[in-house]
Amino acid sequence: MLDTEKLRKDFPILSRTVRGKPLVYLDNAATSQKPKAVIDALSNYYLNQNANIHRGIHTLSEEATQAFEEVRKKVAKFVHAPSAQSVIFTRNTTESINLVAYAWGRKNIQAGDEILLTGMEHHANLVPWQILAQEKGAVLKFVSVTEAGTLNLEDLDKNLSKKTKLISVTHVSNALGTINPIRRFAQAARSVGAVLFVDAAQSVPHIPVDMRVLGCDFLAFSSHKMLGPTGIGVLIAHEDLLDKMPPFLAGGDMIREVWLEKATWNDVPYKFEAGTPDIGGVIAFGAAIDYLQNLGMDNVRAHEQELVAYALAELSKIQGLKIYGPLDAAQRSGVVSFNLGAIHPHDLGTVLDEDGIAVRAGHHCCQPLMRGFGISGTTRASFNIYNTKEEVDKLVKSLERAKMLFDACAPGAFSTGSSSPKETSQKSSRK
């Protein structure tokens, strides 16, 4: 098990206060906090190693190149990727998905082909495929979401056909926490010769992920949700798949030879890494992976599962509070989305902030999913390794305070049985 009390000391930001109260950071699905080891790795790079990579023959450049390429190996090992060369560094999960939609999609998707997605995708795993489908005359199909916040797998079989060329699905829902059965999607994809893309932005940071077990062709995730810096994303695919794809961005580093009228491409993964990357960010991401490896992803998962089970039990005691997603902690990550009576999530989030509690409120970049539930959004608490049961207690106490406050303003409006915030304007809330 994790020694939460000890490891909290590794995260300097956790000792700050917000509005005079100790910070309770429950917005981890948006981005995680960073341990000192990551912050130090970033500043050490700029203090001692700063140089551009791959091109230099001087010592600093060689050192930076080696440190950067070491992280590629670490990432590959962390998720059991086919090889270090199968790991491409991007800016974030969003860019990884766009890379595939552009480079793989424009080559392999034709008019009449089908792309199978689900009703719980983050906009990042929806809009790039919409654009591709519109451009190519392809058809988007969807696996629907049940009332319980799980995927309706009958839709998977029903919508699968020889026309299905790509299936793209989130491993873990950022809005509900639902853990999806990826192997089932891999079997489906294989049965019709389709390619499987897995959006692992919410799984790799929180549960052990083994690409070999998942059986997917593409995997994408972001450093900033897994204790690393912002600005670094990962895309992984078998080298032979990447070899056949045309480039995404063009320029320095991704070429082998350039003439005035034409150019040839560098090997994978460099073919997909045009221009100077965020070198310091990648090196610091390596420190984040080391940190998680030292804790052990099984321990990370066990801690967060215990916390989410406790949160589900305690939140269920609040009259008028509706939880979305599976109620079994084994079926969900450390994410709990809820509504309290008819209180708008933004108003609820504001009251929680007064108590130093950071949560996310809104549609969580999942407008179609929210629409399916007939709501404009939810309030979402999402946990990480440094969160504690005491913090869950503070959340519950603050929600009780919010309930009293709003009941005092509009008596009866927020009691049990009152409706959840209805879909009206889709106020913006990202991540």
> Smallest Cα–Cα separation from 29: which of 173, 184, 160, 220?
173
Nearer to ligand PMP, 109 or 369 (CB): 369
* Part in contact with ligand PMP (CB under 6 A); list of ranges 79-87, 196-204, 318-326, 395-403: 196-204
Nearer to ligand PMP, 307 or 335 (CB): 335
* Part in contact with ligand PMP (CB under 6 A); list of ranges 88-96, 244-252, 283-291, 383-391: 88-96
Q: From residue 421, give the alpha-carbon distance in Å to each of 121, 155, 322.
A: 21, 28, 11
Tell me: does residue 170 bind ligand PMP (CB under 6 A).
yes
The site that binds ligand PMP (CB under 6 A) totals a number of residues, namely 13
Tell me: does residue 222 bind ligand PMP (CB under 6 A).
yes
According to DSSP, the β-strands at 24-25 and 87-90 are unpaired
Token pair of 413, please? 């409006």
The answer to whether 165 touches 132, Cβ cutoff 8 Å, is no
Nearer to ligand PMP, 53 or 99 (CB): 99
Whether residue 269 is preceded by a cis peptide bond, meaning omega within 30 degrees of 0, is yes
Nearer to ligand PMP, 322 or 364 (CB): 364
**DSSP secondary structure letters along 176-203:** T-BBP-HHHHHHHHHHHT-EEEEE-TTT
The least CB distance from residue 3 to ligand PMP, in Å, is 28
Tell me: does residue 202 bind ligand PMP (CB under 6 A).
yes
Tell me: does residue 92 bind ligand PMP (CB under 6 A).
yes
The least CB distance from residue 255 to ligand PMP, in Å, is 26
Tell me: does residue 118 bind ligand PMP (CB under 6 A).
no
Q: Residue 65's CB: how many other CB atoms inside 10 A?
A: 17
The answer to whether 259 touches 102, Cβ cutoff 8 Å, is no
The least CB distance from residue 336 to ligand PMP, in Å, is 15
Catalytic residue at 409? no
Out of 122, 141, 303, 403, the only residue in the binding site for ligand PMP (CB under 6 A) is 122
Residue 113 half-sphere exposure toward CB, CA atoms < 13 A: 23
Q: How far apart are CA 41 and CA 228, in angstroms?
A: 10
Catalytic site positions: 365
Binding site for ligand PMP (CB under 6 A): 92-94, 122, 124-125, 170, 174, 199, 201-202, 222, 431
